[in-house]
Structure 1
Amino acid sequence: MTRSVPPRIYCIPAIQAPVVAVFRRGPSNWSHIGRWDLTAERYEPGAWLGGRIFPRRSDLSPDGRYLCYFAHKPSATWEHGEAYVALSKLPWLTALHAFGTCGTWTRGYYFTEDSGRDDQQMERLPIPYGLRSIPVVQFANERRRGWTEAEDSPPRDPKDAWDEHRNALMRKPQPNGTRVLCVESVGWAGGEFGVDQAVDGLNVRYSLESNGNLEPLDDLQWADWSRGGQLLVATRAGVLQMRNLEGDNHQILFEADLSTLEPNPAPAPAWAQRW
């Protein structure tokens, strides 16, 4: 009997809202988007794409409403080609704005809270955000969300144009708490260009620093803090959890098992098909 492979999961929290964009990959060559509502403690499944979405080259708007994603869909027949950047309403992928790229080496774009744009030929968006190219640096999404590079993180080699050849170490203090969440890259950052690599393209290891002790969190493939100090995680088994760390044990406040989801493409609702 063939054992099913757990899905790869990567998440992007909204900076100003209790909403998390969930990127799920699996089975092979299928991508799924979901919306994690932290206040309602609910997971809302959304779109399926018969192709690849690159989460570390995507972004969620500060208010948690809009998704800017970079995708590669070899079967695409539209004018933007098979590698493209698109804007949609979370958790759907219907493109409200899109443009083609030069291929999968594109860095992707992130939202800015102004109308500035890297490309002055790009049309203005009918939303209170602009778009800029994601910097070529490990953990770019995390850096915009309160993570900082640790003092003992290996420096980047000036000749390493794609920031691939080091094990960067990032830290983020717990809001309203004393713990520090740590993440270290332990694999080749450029692995996302391979078909069989993990969905986030970067092999990572999480740990929790508390009272001078470092607790490995080897069961996690993604983690971050909620604004209230709860630990948000995606386990390597494909489960989303919100954990309360107060006390001796980690209390699970919310859980959603995404491991059993199967591709089920469906049209986006009417509200997600217009600005």
Structure 2
Amino acid sequence: MSAPPRLYVLVAIHAPTALIIRRGPSNWWHLLRWDLQTRTIEPGAWFGGTLYPRRCDISPDGRYFGYFALGTGEPPWRTYFAVSRLPWLTALVAWQTYGTYTIGCRFARDGNLTISGAMNDQPFHGRYPNKASIEVMHTNWIRRDIQNELKRGWRPLREALEIPLDPDERDSAVLIQRTSPTGHGTSLILAHTGVDFQRHGIEGVQTRYFRKDRDGQITPLADATWADWDHNGHLLMATRQGAVTVHEQRRRVWTETWTHDLADLTPNPAEAPVWAEGW
């Protein structure tokens, strides 16, 4: 039996859209658009190189994907940063990077793009229709690993809580939390416990998730490899078994109300549609 895929999700800040980044089998990557309003999944690109999901992002309106990739082609398509239309990888603009020493990107609401990486400041392919700038890199690797959460309202956990972590994780864990946007008093807690490329995790990052209810009870989300809130306060999760799920609170009880299994997919590369080839 093959190992379950590894899943990571990017939720648009101002739209009911998410991008699922799926790894497996082996080095295959697959992009899928997740419509959080209709709860439907739209398959997109398959890629046989390497993506770095924690160094990627999607635009606030959910239309564009800024991604860092290690390709299989000749330079400059070896290591590069590009922008495409969800859920495809057809590069509308691309910059060559100096190896994999790249941190990530940030889309502004007005369409401007900031990239943090060791790279050329001018694209070698296409053009970006708004302002694109390259910023000085930092070397805080944990901050890099959780930058997408910090952009989406997660904040360092200031209060002293008894988080049920293994003894070897407690000293190194970095804890951040995000309260539900609907104000029902429930928070998610993410524990970054280090990097181990021999264990299940996107880019080797080891994370543990917990839910803290308004009465202070802390519940481990043992199956979650990723979790966040949607704009309506529903709990979104990607599981270790290769599914994405939605949980809703009903009469103070959290119930799984939707699930989509992504475990048994076979690579099926296809040409991107015509609309994905332009801005």
Q: TM-score scaled by structure 1?
A: 0.85
RMSD (CA atoms): 2.3
How has the CA–CA distance of structure 1 residues 116 and 242 changed in structure 2, closer, same or farther, with 3 Å as cutoff? closer
Are residues 1:95 and 2:91 paired? yes
Aligned-partner SS, 1:143: helix
Which residue in 2 is equivalent to 1:17? 15
Listed as ranges, the matches of 1:141-220 within 5 Å are 141-151=148-158, 166-176=172-182, 177-188=184-195, 191=196, 198-210=201-213, 211-220=215-224
Listed as ranges, the matches of 1:1-275 within 5 Å are 3-73=1-71, 75-77=72-74, 79-114=75-110, 115=112, 117=114, 121-122=121-122, 125-127=128-130, 130=132, 136=140, 137=143, 138-151=145-158, 166-176=172-182, 177-188=184-195, 191=196, 198-210=201-213, 211-247=215-251, 249-275=253-279
Farther-moved stretch of structure 1 (167-176 vs 241-250): 241-250
How has the CA–CA distance of structure 1 residues 81 and 67 changed in structure 2, closer, same or farther, with 3 Å as cutoff? same
CA distance in 1, matches of 2:120, 2:6: 36
Q: Deviations over 1:99-120 (max 9, x none)?
A: 1111122112221235465689
CA distance in 2, matches of 1:117, 1:252: 37
CA distance in 2, matches of 1:213, 1:130: 44
How has the CA–CA distance of structure 1 residues 7 and 85 changed in structure 2, closer, same or farther, with 3 Å as cutoff? same
Kept in 1: contact 2:198–2:204 (CA 8 A):
no
How far apart are residue 187 of structure 1 and its match? 2.4
Aligned-partner SS, 1:102: strand
Q: TM-score scaled by structure 2?
A: 0.84
CA distance in 1, matches of 2:134, 2:247: 33
Kept in 1: contact 2:211–2:219 (CA 8 A):
yes
Q: Percent identity?
A: 39
How has the CA–CA distance of structure 1 residues 49 and 65 changed in structure 2, closer, same or farther, with 3 Å as cutoff? same
CA distance in 2, matches of 1:141, 1:249: 28
Aligned-partner SS, 2:99: coil
CA distance in 1, matches of 2:264, 2:113: 41
Which residue in 1 is equivalent to 2:168? none
Aligned-partner SS, 1:142: helix
Structure 1: segments with no counterpart, 5+ residues:
154-164
CA distance in 1, matches of 2:272, 2:173: 40
Q: Deviations over 1:170-207 (max 9, x none)?
A: 1000122110100101222xx5xx58763243110000
CA distance in 1, matches of 2:198, 2:53: 14
CA distance in 1, matches of 2:190, 2:82: 29
Kept in 1: contact 2:6–2:200 (CA 8 A):
no
Kept in 2: contact 1:36–1:42 (CA 8 A):
yes
- Give the count of matched residue pairs: 255
Higher-strand-fraction structure: 2
How has the CA–CA distance of structure 1 residues 122 and 152 changed in structure 2, closer, same or farther, with 3 Å as cutoff? farther
How has the CA–CA distance of structure 1 residues 178 and 117 changed in structure 2, closer, same or farther, with 3 Å as cutoff? closer
Q: Deviations over 1:7-40 (max 9, x none)?
A: 1001110000000011110111111111100111
CA distance in 2, matches of 1:66, 1:131: 17
How far apart are residue 242 of structure 1 and its match? 1.1
